[in-house]
Structure 1
Amino acid sequence: MKSPSLCNPALRLKTLLALVLTIAFSGILSAAEPMSLSRYELGAGDKISISVFGEEDMEKELILTDAGTVSYPFLGEFRAKGLTVGQLEKLIIRRLKEGYFIDPRVSVSIKEYRKFFVSGEVKSPGGFSFEPGLTLEKAVALAGGFTQRASKKDIMVTREENGRPAEQELSLNDSVLPGDIIVINESFF
């Protein structure tokens, strides 16, 4: 015997529509926030704050070295590059539990993201402080805007992916990430 819900075409249509809308909205939401703090991987030049609740002398602001390491009390120097804030918190908790603290409550936050760089056909090329929500159009504005010879369509970015630099083309509405190297090419027309 068939279920009454499967026999009702209106109910099937509503279920299908709800499924399609759920999929569509989940895609929109993930595209709207591509740089979620929970997925952001730390890299050289990021300034972070680490604190242990109730331990004032364990509160430190640190900048990841070129090698992606930080030095923290009791733990010495260790690699933080490639870790998310949550992963770094768990690493520090685990290592502090190894003979130093019974139940440390660790907090890690990003104080300042590493810079991104804009070169080529912009009025003021250079390195700029990253802010979440930054688009290519905003990055170009920080660099003084396009020159008269700039191509607004031939824009390349070199970005680290899986530990290796990868080059890709960007449009003005695409997100910029910390550490990106953006090159605005010259237009031929």
Structure 2
Amino acid sequence: MPLTRPRTYAFLVVCLFLLGGCETAPLAPNVEPPTEYTYIIGPGDNIEMFVWGNPEVSRSVPVRPDGKISAPLVEELPASGKTPFQLARDIERELGKYIRNPLVSVIVSGFVGPYSEQVRVVGQAAKPQAVPYKENMSLLDLMILVGGMTEYAAGNRSTIVRTVNGVQQQFRVRVDDLLDNGDISANVNVLPGDVLIIPEAYF
């Protein structure tokens, strides 16, 4: 069925916007990954709390959606946004009210991480999703995690939205060249908080 005039105008506006974005967005630089990256705890993570010499208060507890944990003798303790080391010291301070010189170790499992650290993939990925950032993560690693692209994807028009010095910027990436042609030069580093947008191809 032919497009009506209002729909045609709207379609053209969307196309011009997308084309303009492709023309102005530079290729994503292969920036250095964060040095000495330390995992940050987020809602949905699971915390293994070991209290040496006190197995009765050692527990596996989830980080609630509000970013807090609750365990024996530890109530409503903020965990999100902290490293495992920082959380262990906070738990020691809380337990110190009841136990003499507690020694706590914290191990994280079921990694999710805070929202600001997650890498999100939207659009024509096989499995669009948010994934926790991993040290030295690359575009290829990310595409493996989301299962590649759909048959309708325009991989070489994909962009990464990244915050640089507090300013949101958009960079073009060549996913088709990377996956279909094995062009390793297209395999750029991914940073915490990146959003990969894979658009649909024009037909």
TM-score, normalising length: structure 2: 0.59
Output the CA distance in 2 between the equivalents of 1:55 and 1:169: 51
The C-alpha deviation readout for 1:98-140, integer Å capped at 9, x for no partner, is x211111100111121175422121232355665443232121
The residue type paired with residue 104 of structure 1 is P
Q: What 5-or-longer segments of structure 1 have no aligned partner? A: 1-30
In structure 2, relative to structure 1, the CA distance for the partners of 1:145 and 1:32 (3 Å cut) is same
Instruction: Identify the residue that residue 88 of structure 2 maps to in structure 1.
Output: 89
- Correspondence list, 1:72-83, <5 A: 72-83=71-82
Output the CA distance in 2 between the equivalents of 1:33 and 1:112: 22
Q: How many residues align?
A: 152
Contact 2:33 2:189 in 1 (8 A): no
Does the alignment pair 1:67 with 2:82? no
Q: What 5-or-longer segments of structure 2 have no aligned partner? A: 1-31, 113-117, 174-186
SS of aligned partner of 2:89: helix
Instruction: Identify the residue that residue 103 of structure 2 maps to in structure 1.
Output: 105
Instruction: Identify the residue that residue 20 of structure 1 maps to in structure 2.
Output: none
Identity within the alignment, %: 26
Instruction: Identify the residue that residue 11 of structure 1 maps to in structure 2.
Output: none
Relative contact order higher in (CA < 8 Å, ≥ 6 apart): 2
Contact 1:122 1:150 in 2 (8 A): no
Match of 1:137 among 123, 140, 152: 140
SS of aligned partner of 1:104: coil
TM-score, normalising length: structure 1: 0.63
Higher-strand-fraction structure: 1
Does the alignment pair 1:185 with 2:203? no
Output the CA distance in 1 between the equivalents of 2:194 and 2:108: 18
The residue type paired with residue 125 of structure 1 is P
SS of aligned partner of 2:86: helix
Instruction: Identify the residue that residue 125 of structure 1 maps to in structure 2.
Output: 128
| RMSD, aligned CA | 3.4
